[in-house]
Structure 1
């Protein structure tokens, strides 16, 4: 059935920062077709940009689709055109078309074709594209025009590590690095569009390498020379790709913020081996020691999985002891969830949900304790804070410290300002600052 060409759109992104970046790029594609961004409840086209990391991700997509359609029926409005994008689309494309009868399904390596797929769907047939072409999608994306004070920039995609619990190699493909010049050009465009801070993204971002053998540290040093770019961050890193050149950059590139997200996943060597993590507890801790030598004030973040198949109480105790040893400024922790098609899903000795729940509570208590301690230790410090957005309360602004802490300020500051603050109070998730003066733009 022929449908009206959509004039308005909404993109709803779930999951990691790379999905946020992809969602922004899809929005730019739609805007480039003359469409207007509106709330999902009112859009002619709704793009669900999905994540496949957590359990029952596919069922959640069907639930979101059902809610969208039900809301329209209740409000006596025509059903929207629905596009499912991202990793669930890549993994479950034909099943989504069969069960949900959506209009468009597009994988994360093909979303540059979204306008053409929408046009095809408007002509009457479901459109599906989950190819992983050799040609990069990035050259087909529009130029960056207007962004906020902070911006994401994908420099690397895919993963070759094949951790036994992870679907990324199957949904995002093999590790691919974008060309050096293309990244620098996009970074310059982001700064011209208003960005003061850029976070470089990749499934294994520190695996980035170009054809000339330059690594992420060389790229960071090049970006450091862009006028107007005040701050650089990167995520997510793999311990095995943390080379000395990148460690050294943390010591001598002023714009590279003193924050590192370096997932470990578990503190037990037996579990790490079963996960195919390719690093050990000891090698991880020795790596952190090397990083702290060049940047003693670095804030460390990590990822943890509890209840991996076969994890004993003794294994879990080793994870807790690693947390005590490191003292993370912040961290993310999850219960293991089996992903279809991954080796871990077929392993024996799956852990009972109640055991995972109890372990996760203990782990999160330890991580929250350390995060709050890190924040409390910041009271009295003076630091530069980039103002990113308005706070929840009238007259309140929110920014980020160099250590990626949220800082609330009620002084006369504007979006995009980098303000020198004295940190005066701290809670578990944020700090309060008092402005001393603003730095020059």
Structure 2
């Protein structure tokens, strides 16, 4: 039987989809990109719009694959089991806790044609998953942590993911060694609350980074999204000792206004965030700071928004994901006063996005003249390859060769839109 997959949401979901596909491949299924007998949909539920997208995706998958078995799994069923169970397009509905039974559930459905809804509570241990390769990718995502204990007032993820659970170091080393043997030069360590890695094992994120950097064949280690307050000076110093660690840090800000951060139940102030950014820049050469910023949070006054806007300009992020607050049923913030109109949220999004684009362009222009090792990933167009520097600057290079998977020195010469342009130093 042929199986295809649709992944919604974050890099953790991408990893989990890959692991599930591997499980099905080992069970005798054939992976495909087109018409399939089984369509796996790995869902996101971070916003109400995410749930809407899940429903749309299910409808489209059913329309395009009318006789296929549709499997819905991931965060949406786990957080909202009753809503997920009501989605009649899905033949099999699983949560985040029992994906090991995926292949058997498909086989059971084939024999009985009885709809299956199986959503179990979160366990206490990290779910065993191994990925050996990522199809058509030059970097590999490796999930090392799951769950979150923070309970930000706007966020449903602790309910979808449970409490913090970490991959044992021995399992991590084994997975990374396999990826290194398969030719992956870069790995990205990911998690739901990545800096919480090891809290349940008596370890820290530094232990995971050191383990990854010690693997032969892997030349770059990159970190996924980070909660900033856990990056103490001691942690930063220990991370800096690992020369394979890429100097790109995605520190989730959400707001540059301390009063807004308090209502969000974030665990730092704007001043503390500024200090962490300063410490990282003082320690890592040519580091890129990227972030997420939410606008229009419940109760965010115009003064608070302007404070956040000024802060974003001051920090001068290399890249910002700007998004408007989405009222999420099941969270405390959904009942907060001061909910604002979509029009106002759109206005604030436009202003913050414009500020972010200015700092993005300034960052890219600052790369001009630098010689950086670029990991080339794909052909962008005829005679042009795209790759990324250690600080995740995208670079386009004109060449008649196939550079896929190679790390080559490039001199950055110009900025074109959202990318830099460079020439191979050998030229």
Bin of the TM-score, shorter chain as denominator length? over 0.9
SS at match of 1:315: helix
- 5 Å-filtered alignment, 1:73-92, equals 78-92=66-80
- Greater mean deviation of Cα atoms: 162-171 or 189-198: 189-198
Provide the rounded CA distance (Å) in 2 between the counterparts of 1:220 and 1:142: 18
Alignment match, 1:403:
391
Alignment match, 2:162:
173
Distance 1:89 1:390, change over 3 A: farther
2:29 counterpart of 1:35: yes
Distance 1:101 1:151, change over 3 A: same
Distance apart, 1:345 and its partner CA: 0.5
2:108 counterpart of 1:114: no
Distance apart, 1:142 and its partner CA: 5.2
Q: TM-score, normalised by structure 1?
A: 0.92
Alignment match, 1:386:
375
Distance apart, 1:187 and its partner CA: 0.9
- 5 Å-filtered alignment, 1:125-204, equals 125-134=114-123, 136=125, 138-139=127-128, 141=129, 144-145=132-133, 148-204=137-193
Question: Would the aligned equivalents of 2:229 and 2:272 in 1 still touch at CA under 8 Å?
Answer: no
Alignment match, 2:260:
271
Question: Would the aligned equivalents of 1:154 and 1:201 in 2 still touch at CA under 8 Å?
Answer: yes
State how many pairs are aligned. Answer: 424
2:273 counterpart of 1:287: no
Provide the rounded CA distance (Å) in 2 between the counterparts of 1:65 and 1:237: 31
Distance 1:218 1:137, change over 3 A: closer
Distance 1:142 1:325, change over 3 A: closer
Provide the rounded CA distance (Å) in 2 between the counterparts of 1:229 and 1:142: 17
2:55 counterpart of 1:66: no
Q: Could you say what the CA RMSD is over the residues aligned between the two structures, in angstroms?
A: 1.8
Question: Would the aligned equivalents of 1:10 and 1:43 in 2 still touch at CA under 8 Å?
Answer: yes
Alignment match, 2:354:
365
Provide the rounded CA distance (Å) in 2 between the counterparts of 1:306 and 1:153: 30
- 5 Å-filtered alignment, 1:233-312, equals 233-312=222-301
Provide the rounded CA distance (Å) in 2 between the counterparts of 1:267 and 1:339: 21
Question: Would the aligned equivalents of 1:11 and 1:48 in 2 still touch at CA under 8 Å?
Answer: yes
Question: Would the aligned equivalents of 1:8 and 1:38 in 2 still touch at CA under 8 Å?
Answer: yes
Distance apart, 1:432 and its partner CA: 1.4
Q: Deviations over 1:221-254 (max 9, x none)?
A: 2221211110001112112221334311443221
Unmatched runs of 5 consecutive residues or more in structure 2: none
2:221 counterpart of 1:232: yes
Distance 1:225 1:142, change over 3 A: closer
Distance 1:280 1:235, change over 3 A: same
Q: TM-score, normalised by structure 2?
A: 0.95
Provide the rounded CA distance (Å) in 1 between the counterparts of 2:177 and 2:326: 40
- 5 Å-filtered alignment, 1:202-213, equals 202-209=191-198, 213=202
Alignment match, 2:316:
327
Provide the rounded CA distance (Å) in 1 between the counterparts of 2:125 and 2:179: 20
Q: Deviations over 1:113-155 (max 9, x none)?
A: 211121222222222232234264643x456256542000001
Provide the rounded CA distance (Å) in 1 between the counterparts of 2:290 and 2:209: 20
Q: Deviations over 1:308-329 (max 9, x none)?
A: 0000010001111111111000
SS at match of 2:305: helix
Provide the rounded CA distance (Å) in 2 between the counterparts of 1:116 and 1:409: 47
Alignment match, 1:345:
334
Q: Deviations over 1:163-219 (max 9, x none)?
A: 000111000111111111111111111111221000000111111126663311122
Provide the rounded CA distance (Å) in 2 between the counterparts of 1:160 and 1:96: 24
Provide the rounded CA distance (Å) in 2 between the counterparts of 1:38 and 1:382: 40
Distance 1:87 1:416, change over 3 A: same
